[in-house]
């Protein structure tokens, strides 16, 4: 642990007691494809019994009508978050008939773009906009990439923490909202530097189904019967064939400050891109995309960490950020864990909490263009070669062994875990760190290695492995019924969401074209009205 983290941690304990991070909140967003029992992507609409994908707070869809997304509330404990995620799965399974939820990040049995239905959200302006945005993604990147699933980890710290931290840093003259946003951006910058650790420790997509690439050329090794892989890969989901999209590398999004981030991200949503102009916006009376800019909207930027503020109805994310600052961070680097019935284990959530606190408390200078390139290259290298004992990453002029650097970071996170354990008088956080230490000493224990071992030991194709795990998880989740009270609450929530969608549709007064023009016309305020003026 660096001297900076030690000093800050010691000061926070003195100011707030032995549990300085009490009140932190954790939430999870987990994506899962609905597939039929042959493994093909479902062609059925989103089940009405699950409610409205537009307005339901915890059960929605992502790119595809078949791509479910479960969103837990932000709880003050990992155990509650995990329970909520499990309950969402248990409520859903009886309502999707004979379908299963795909247990891996990478899809299989993909028969081209036409086999992937784009999500629909009804006839309201906001619903049509969500659909057209996805239609734009399909024209820009293809639908197949959009079927990749992941787990997003949402994390925040409470106001008393930020008040004490501001005093520790001797910045009490600064508004708490601005100080909090600066702190979250420090975390984000360090996650860009160190976040490759997440796919190394928890990546579980070292292999893919040949159908995912269609007829495209590739340099992957073959593992028999339609399975492609990289021997030391950790997360092909985070490689160039997944969400680390090559076309976005030159956007130049800056994380040096909230204002820089807002300015550069907004700029990308207003800069015309000739290849997207060729697609067209409205063709034969139908919208193909929202606009022809580098990014249609901010969400199109595929960063593996996002500083977030909850946007109000019709409010752009950059405008929400400028008006109210950062509320939480969203980590997007986690694969769906095929060995967990709900896609992520409690121990993973606990390590992520401790790791993000380490990223927050460590020194975090601005990221130079060279460091940005090196960090992105580190992320790419770990995704495709992370378990290679010969792999070296960019750090200083000479570089460093990836596994050695990982051990250094995990050792530093261990001290944060000890502080987190103090509040519960347990070793749950320390145990989570110890499990990561053990896996770094024996990389065959890493999830990515376990996937390949399963494929080899059972002589399975990737499809067979993923289908087997999907069926196992379905059986596990259907074993125990939800308590009647929980089921009734979910049913009431689903019914309320359908009513809310109808209300939105009946209240529209603008044409879609007018609505879209007004939405896209929003701009973050001028420099004179910076976050320092607007954050309380």
Which CA distances in Å does 355 have to 52, 84, 225, 352? Answer: 35, 23, 39, 5
pLDDT tens by residue, 405-458:
999 999 999 999 999 998 878 899 999 999 999 999 999 999 999 999 999 999
Q: Whose CA is closest to 186, among 15, 4, 394, 406?
A: 4
Are 26 and 74 a contacting pair, CB within 8 Å?
yes
Are 65 and 118 a contacting pair, CB within 8 Å?
yes
CA angle (427, 23, 352) in 5-degree steps: 50
Question: Tokens standing for 65?
Answer: 């009508």
CA 220 to chain centre: 26
**High-pLDDT (> 70) share of the chain, %:** 97
pTM for this structure?
A: 0.95
Q: Which domains does the chain have, with CATH numbers?
A: 3-157+170-337+349-524 (3.30.590.20)
pLDDT tens by residue, 254-313:
999 999 999 999 999 999 999 999 999 999 999 999 999 999 999 999 999 999 999 998
- Is the pLDDT at 531 greater than 50? The verdict is no
pLDDT band at residue 532, thresholds of 50, 70 and 90? very low
- Is the pLDDT at 536 greater than 60? The verdict is no
Give the H or E element holding residue 78.
helix 78-92
Are 173 and 267 a contacting pair, CB within 8 Å?
no
Question: Tokens standing for 282?
Answer: 């409205």
- Cβ–Cβ contacts within 10 Å for residue 491, how many? 14
pLDDT tens by residue, 16-68:
999 999 999 999 999 999 999 999 999 999 999 999 999 999 999 999 999 99
Quote the pLDDT of residue 480: 86
Quote the pLDDT of residue 526: 62
DSSP string, 18-78: S-TTTT-EEEEEEEEEEE-TTSPBP-SPPPGGG--TTT-SSEEE-SBTTEEEEE---BSSH
Helices 258-268, 317-324: inter-axial angle, 10-degree rounding: 160
**High-pLDDT (> 90) share of the chain, %:** 89
Are 363 and 371 a contacting pair, CB within 8 Å?
no
Quote the pLDDT of residue 368: 93
- Is the pLDDT at 249 greater than 70? The verdict is no
Question: Tokens standing for 15?
Answer: 């100011």
Mean pLDDT computed over 467-491: 95
Q: Using DSSP bridges, classify how beta strands 59-61 and 400-401 pair: parallel, antiparallel or unpaired.
A: unpaired
pLDDT tens by residue, 100-156:
999 999 998 888 898 999 999 999 999 999 999 999 999 999 999 999 999 999 999
Nearest-10 Cα torsion for 432, 433, 438, 439: 80
Helices 402-424, 346-361: inter-axial angle, 10-degree rounding: 100
Cβ neighbors of 382 (< 8 A, separation 6 or more) are 196, 199, 200, 203, 234, 235, 391, 393, 402
Q: Whose CA is closest to 206, among 404, 454, 30, 374?
A: 454
Q: What are phi and psi of 349, to 5 degrees?
A: -60, -40
Mean pLDDT of the chain: 94
Mean pLDDT computed over 206-232: 91
Quote the pLDDT of residue 247: 62
pLDDT band at residue 242, thresholds of 50, 70 and 90? confident
């Amino acid at each position: 642990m660096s001297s900076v983290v030690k000093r800050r941690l010691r000061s926070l304990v003195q100011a707030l007691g032995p549990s300085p991070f009490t009140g932190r909140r954790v939430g999870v967003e987990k994506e899962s494809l609905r597939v039929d029992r042959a493994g093909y992507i479902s062609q059925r609409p989103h089940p009405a019994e699950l409610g409205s994908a537009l307005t339901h707070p915890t059960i929605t869809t992502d790119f595809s009508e078949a791509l479910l997304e479960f969103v837990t509330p932000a709880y003050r404990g990992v155990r509650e978050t995990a329970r909520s995620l499990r309950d969402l799965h248990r409520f859903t399974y009886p309502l999707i008939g004979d379908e299963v939820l795909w247990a891996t990040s990478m899809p299989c049995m993909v028969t081209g773009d036409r086999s992937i239905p784009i999500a629909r959200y009804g006839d309201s302006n906001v619903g049509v906009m969500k659909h057209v945005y996805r239609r734009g993604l399909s024209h820009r990147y293809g639908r197949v990439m959009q079927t990749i699933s992941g787990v997003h980890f949402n994390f925040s710290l409470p106001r008393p923490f930020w008040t004490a931290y501001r005093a520790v840093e001797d910045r009490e003259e600064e508004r708490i909202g601005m100080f909090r946003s600066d702190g979250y951006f420090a975390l984000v910058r360090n996650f860009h530097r160190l976040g490759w650790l997440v796919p190394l420790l928890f990546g579980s997509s070292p292999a893919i189904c040949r159908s995912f690439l269609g007829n495209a050329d590739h340099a992957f090794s073959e593992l028999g019967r339609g399975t492609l892989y990289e021997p030391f890969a950790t997360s092909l989901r985070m490689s160039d064939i997944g969400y680390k999209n090559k076309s976005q590398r030159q956007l130049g999004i800056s994380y040096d400050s909230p204002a820089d981030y807002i300015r550069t991200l907004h700029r990308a949503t207003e800069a015309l891109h000739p290849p997207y102009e060729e697609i067209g916006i409205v063709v034969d009376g139908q919208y193909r995309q929202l606009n022809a800019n580098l990014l249609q909207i901010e969400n199109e930027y595929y960063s593996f960490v996002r500083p977030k503020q909850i946007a109000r109805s019709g409010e752009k994310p950059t405008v929400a950020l400028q008006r109210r600052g950062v509320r939480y961070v969203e980590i997007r680097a986690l694969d769906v864990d095929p060995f967990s019935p709900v896609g992520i284990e409690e121990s993973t959530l606990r390590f992520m909490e401790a790791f993000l606190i380490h990223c927050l408390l460590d020194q975090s200078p601005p990221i130079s263009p060279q460091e940005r390139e090196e960090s992105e290259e580190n992320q790419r290298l770990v995704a495709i070669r992370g378990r290679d004992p010969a792999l070296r990453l960019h750090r200083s002029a000479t570089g460093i062994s990836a596994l050695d650097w990982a051990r250094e970071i995990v050792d530093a996170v261990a001290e944060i875990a000890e502080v987190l354990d103090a509040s519960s008088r347990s070793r749950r956080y320390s145990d989570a760190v110890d499990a990561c230490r053990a896996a770094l000493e024996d990389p065959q224990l890493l999830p990515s290695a376990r996937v390949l071992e399963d494929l080899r030991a059972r002589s399975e194709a990737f499809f067979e492995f993923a289908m087997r795990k999907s069926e196992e998880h379905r059986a596990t989740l259907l074993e125990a019924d939800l308590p009647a009270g929980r089921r009734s609450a979910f049913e009431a929530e689903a019914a309320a969401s359908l009513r809310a969608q109808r209300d939105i549709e009946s209240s529209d007064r603008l044409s879609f074209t007018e609505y879209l023009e007004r939405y896209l016309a929003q701009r973050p305020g001028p420099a004179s009205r910076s976050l320092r003026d607007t954050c309380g």
